[in-house]
Structure 1
Amino acid sequence: MELKVKNLEIAAGDALVAMLNYEDAHHLTIFQGDRILIRAGKNNAVAVVDITHSNSLVPRGTIGLFEELTQNLNTKSGKKVFISIAEKPKSIDYIKKKMHGEKLNEKEMFSIISDIVNMRLTEIEITYFVAACYMNELSSREIVDLTEAMINTGETLALNKYPIMDKHCIGGVAGNRTTMIIVPIVAEAGLIMPKTSSRAITSPAGTADTVEFLANVSFSMKGMKRIIEKNNSCFVWGGGINLAPSDDKLIHVERPMSLDPVGQLLASILAKKKSVSATHLLVDIPLGKGAKVESKDKALMLKKMFERISRLLKIKTKVIITDGSHPIGRGVGPALEARDVLYILTNNPKGSYELREKSLEMAGILLEMGGKAKSGCGKIIAEEILTSGRAYKRFSNIIRSQGGKVCDPDSIRMAKHHCNIISNLRGRVSHIDNKIISKIARMAGAPFDKRAGIYLHKNLGEEVHRGSLLYTIYSESKQKLMYARKIADEEKAFEIK
């Protein structure tokens, strides 16, 4: 059937979608969600059908194309296309197979991930896949197959070097900006560490958000490689390059129901590491009340799974379980966390002791893994690189290579509005809730307002009196500050005993 194109100028998101008038769909016996093959000259694409009864939106004899499909077919409004009924992707059968509790093989897993990346599956169909993996846990072999499918459907960074170091933190700890301290130490020791990082999803700042306060983080693969060749390392936003592109689509459908299948978590992390040619990986699992992992049993299970899957993928991985019961930096939010990092790299006494110590411990482990330090001596070498100023110099060079400039941490301006949260009790800080601190900082505007967030004046174990200043909230908006203050009053982030 020949139809005239109407560009709807609307993005569909995760699938290629075409809209038909009800009369045309009825004539062809096409139903909502069916697939059609669209031919536009030499270009063709299979699209999911949406149906409308509105003659003003899509008149009879017309096909409405969403933005992704218009670009895919390289066509425009008024042009003619030919449509015919197409079969649904085989990957839908494989998703059903997993829903029934059966195991998927390498070919079936690749088919699903390939169809996700190439927008052949709808958001609903992707959600069924995530739910199937949540209800019927993936085997070790399935996790490896999923990981390799995620790698092979995206770009990879070929460095032809050995070893290639990397690190990952499961997350959930406010102010845990260790990466920006570890990377320059490891790079200065002569190891390659191509660091790709994420933006915040539910936290007040990701590493990419914090680095972006100082420099550009969006680069092509070629640009990323150029920075690494010059500095042994980089700080690049993973979403700006095509590494394991299916991951963002899977995360998108997981979020509404807070689904986090362990198999997909492992595949997501390890696919991105393998995509940058990592040979050695340090994984940090923060454990504690208010962190993402609150039970020791779950932490140990994740540790065991990371080690098992890494062996199958030929990545030398060490997993550490750390204290995630409270924030370890004083700043929470991109600008505040950048200031924390600069304090430590410049050996300023205002830097957080806990953040410094954790960063040195982890950098030391990576130096030992990479053969730059004997067992038990890594932290000593890492500390020498930091205290000598060499880590700061390396960090400055990376930031300059990414189009930025390192500044005096005391010159960093915070958001223009602020309020102080005062203690009405006397005692010691027995707990600081990561989730509440993060919630307040996000309500204040972080990470989108880079200067918004929280500065902690008191940390765990410190003595407080009535009237002591606990933390300050910063916001660019008076209204956001008011909402953040309301949460601070209602949900007590500090426990004092």
Structure 2
Amino acid sequence: MRLSVKDMDVATGGPMIAVLNEKDAVKLDLHLLDRIKIRRGKREAVVVVDYAKSEKAVPRGAIGLFEEVLDKLNARNRDEVSIHFEEKPKSLGYIKKKLDGKELNYDEIRAILNDAICNNLTEVELTYYVAANYTRGMSLKETVALTRAMIDTGEKLDLKRRYVVDKHCIGGVCGNRTTPVVVPILVAAGLTVPKTSSRSITSPAGTADTMEVLTDVSLSMKQIKNVVNKVGGCMVWGGAVDLAPADDTIINVEHPLSIDAEGQLLSSIMAKKGSVSATHVIIDIPVGRDAKIESRKEAMHLGREFRKIAKFLKMKMEVVITDGSQPIGNGMGPALEAIDIIKVLKNSPDAPQDLRKKSLMMAGVIFEMTGKARKGQGRKMAEGIINSGEACHKFMEIINAQGAKITDERKIKLGEYKFNLRSKRNGVVKHISNKAMAKISRLAGSPNDKGAGIYLWKKKFDKVKKGDVLFTIYSESKQNLKFAVEVMGQIDGFVVG
């Protein structure tokens, strides 16, 4: 059947969808979510069928196409196309198999991921797969298969180095910007560290958001290789390249319902490490009230699962369980965290010591696992590199190679509007909620507004007097600051007792 194109003048953001007038669909015996193949000349696209009930939306004899399909067909409004019946993807059968509680093999999982990244599956169909993994659980075999399939469906950074080091924190702690401190320490010692990081989803900033204050983080695969070959490491945004792209597709359907199946969490992290050819990996699992992981028992279980997958992928791994009971560092938000980083690297007297201490510990663990330092001597080696200024010098080399914007922390702009929260009593800081700090920071505008966020003047166990400033909220907008202050008054995020 031949139909006239109607440009719907909107993008779906992913799925390939075409809209038929309901009467045409009934005549052709096509149902919602059926597949058809659309041809225009030598170009073709397989799409999911949707209906329009009104002639105004899509008249009879027409087919409504969204931007993704128009681009694939190189079609314009009123062009003529032909439509043909198409079988549903085989991957739908594999999703049904998982819903029935059966184990999937590598080929079946890869078929699902291929269809997901090619937009051959609707969000509803992919959500069923994600939900099945969550409710039915995943065996170790499936988790390894999902990890390998994620790696194999994307680009891979092949550096051909003996030691390629990577690190990851499972998140849940505000600040905690150890990566930009650890990476230059390791690279200064001769290790290769191609670090790709994410942007924030729920925190005041991700590593990529913070580094973007100082340098360009959206590098192509070729640029990443050039930077790593030139200076030994990088700190870039993983979303700018196709490293394990299926992971981002899965995260998009997990996020609305906060579904986070353990197997998918493990695969998501390990696939990113495999995609950069990592040989040695350190995983940071913060534990504490309001962190993602609240018990040491749960953290130890997760650590064991990480090690099992690392063994299958032939990676050497160390898992460190750290204190996640409060934010790490003083700043929360891209600019404030960037200031913390540079102060630590420059050995400034007012640098946050908790961030420095944790970064040195992690660098020390990596030095010992790679044989750069003897057992028990890794932290001392890391401390020597940062105290000598070598780490700061290497950090500047890396950001210059990526395209530096700012190298002096005094030139980093903070939001012009601010509010100081003062203590109402004498006492000791009993609790600082990571969740509350994240919410207030984001309402103030972070991470989109780089200068927005929170600066902590007091930390847990500090003594305070009535009238002392506990923290300062920064914002680039009066309205955002007002929202942040209003919500701050409604949640018990900073406890003095």
TM bracket, shorter-chain basis: over 0.9
Query: Secondary structure of 1:317's partner?
Result: strand
The offset of 1:13, in angstroms, is: 2.2
Cα pair 2:14 2:68 within 8 Å, conserved: no
Query: Partner amino acid for 1:330?
Result: N
Give deviations 1:199-223, integer Å, cap 9, x for gaps: 0001110000000011111011001
Q: How far apart, CA to CA, are the structure 2 residues paired with 1:57 and 1:231?
A: 56
8 A contact 1:172–1:434 mirrored in 2: yes
Equivalence for 1:372: 372
Output the CA distance in 2 between the equivalents of 1:69 and 1:143: 33
* Counterpart residue identity of residue 179, structure 1: T
Q: Cα distance, 1:492 vs. partner?
A: 2.2
Alignment map for 1:95-110 (pairs within 5 Å): 95-110=95-110
**Mapped partners of 2:54, 2:316: distance in 1:** 58
- Give the corresponding residue for 2:30: 30
Q: Distance in 2 between matches of 1:259 and 1:447?
A: 23
Equivalents in 2 of 1:381, 1:127: separation in Å?
A: 47
Cα distance in structure 1, aligned partners of 2:236 and 2:42: 37
Conserved? CA contact 1:169–1:285, under 8 Å:
yes
Q: Structure 2 CA distance, aligned partners of 1:50 and 1:67?
A: 15
CA shift, 1:390, in A, is 0.8
How far the C-alpha of 1:131 sits from its partner, in A, is 0.5
Which structure 2 residues correspond to residues 368-407 of structure 1 after superposition, within 5 A? 368-407=368-407
- Please tell me whether residue 464 in structure 1 is matched to residue 461 in structure 2: no
* Residue equivalent to 1:243: 243
SS in 1 for 2:266: helix
Cα distance in 2 for partners of 1:234, 1:426 equals: 46
Per-residue Cα deviation, 1:423-453 (whole angstroms, up to 9, x for no partner): 1121111211111011100000000000000
Q: Displacement of 1:4 after TM fit?
A: 1.6
Distance (Å, rounded) in 1 between the aligned partners of 2:365 and 2:355: 16
Structure 2 residue aligned with 1:454: 454
Which residue of 1 is the match for residue 14 of structure 2? 14
Tell me, what secondary structure is at the counterpart of 1:459? coil
1:413 CA drift (Å): 2.3
1:67 maps to: 67
Match of 2:154 in 1: 154
8 Å CA contact 2:329, 2:340 repeated in 1: yes
**What is the SS of the residue equivalent to 1:72?**
helix
Following the alignment from structure 1 to structure 2, what is the Cα–Cα distance between the partners of residues 366 and 56? 64
Could you tell me how far apart the structure 2 residues matched to 1:56 and 1:486 are?
46
Equivalent position SS for 2:310: helix
* Distance of 2:34 and 2:408 partners within structure 1: 59
> What is the one-letter code of the residue matched to 1:392?
C
Q: Is the 8 A contact 2:37 2:86 kept in 1?
A: yes
**What amino acid is aligned across from residue 294 of structure 1 in structure 2?**
E
What amino acid does structure 2 have at the position aligned with 1:354?
D
In 2, distance between residues paired with 1:219 and 1:410? 26
Instruction: Give the structure 1 partner of residue 477 of structure 2.
Output: 477
Structural mapping, 1:242-391, within 5 Å? 242-391=242-391
% identical aligned pairs:
51
Q: Is the 8 A contact 1:103 1:142 kept in 2?
A: yes
Q: Distance in 2 between matches of 1:483 and 1:31?
A: 46
Q: Contact between 1:396 and 1:406, CA under 8 Å: does it hold in 2?
A: no
Task: Using the TM superposition, give the Cα deviation of residue 312 of structure 1 relative to its aligned residue in structure 2, in angstroms.
Answer: 0.9
How far apart are the structure 1 equivalents of 2:294 and 2:303?
A: 14
Query: Alpha-carbon deviation of 1:291?
Result: 0.6
Equivalent residue number for residue 418 of structure 1: 418
**Whole-Å separation in 2 of the counterparts to 1:138 and 1:96:** 15
Aligned partner letter, 2:61: G
Structure 1 vs Structure 2 CA RMSD:
1.0
Which whole-Å CA distance do the structure 1 matches of 2:413 and 2:339 have between them?
10
Aligned 8 A contact 2:433 2:494 in 1: yes
The amino acid of 1:14's aligned partner reads G
Structure 1 residue 210 and structure 2 residue 210: aligned? yes
> SS of the counterpart of 2:430?
strand
Report what 2:171 is aligned to.
171
Q: 1:67 Cα deviation (Å)?
A: 1.2
Give the residue type in structure 2 aligned to 1:462: D
Amino acid of the residue matched to residue 48 of structure 2? V
**Residues of 1 paired with 2:230 and 2:6: CA distance?**
49
Partner of 2:196: 196
Which residue pairs with 1:2 in the alignment?
2
Shift of 1:63: 1.2
Quote the Cα distance in structure 2 between the aligned partners of 1:307 and 1:425.
47
- Partners of 1:232 and 1:177 in 2: CA distance: 20
State the partner residue of 1:428.
428
Task: List alignment gaps of at least 5 residues for structure 2.
Answer: none
SS at match of 1:44: strand
Amino acid at match of 2:26: H
Distance 1:3 1:416 in 2: 57
Query: How many Å apart are 1:69 and its aligned residue?
Result: 1.3
Q: TM-score, normalised by structure 2?
A: 0.98
SS at match of 1:69: helix
Shift of 1:245: 0.7
CA distance in structure 2 between the partners assigned to 1:317 and 1:150 by the alignment = 20
Whether the 8 Å contact between 2:216 and 2:405 is mirrored in structure 1 is no
Deviation at residue 73 of structure 1 after TM alignment: 2.1
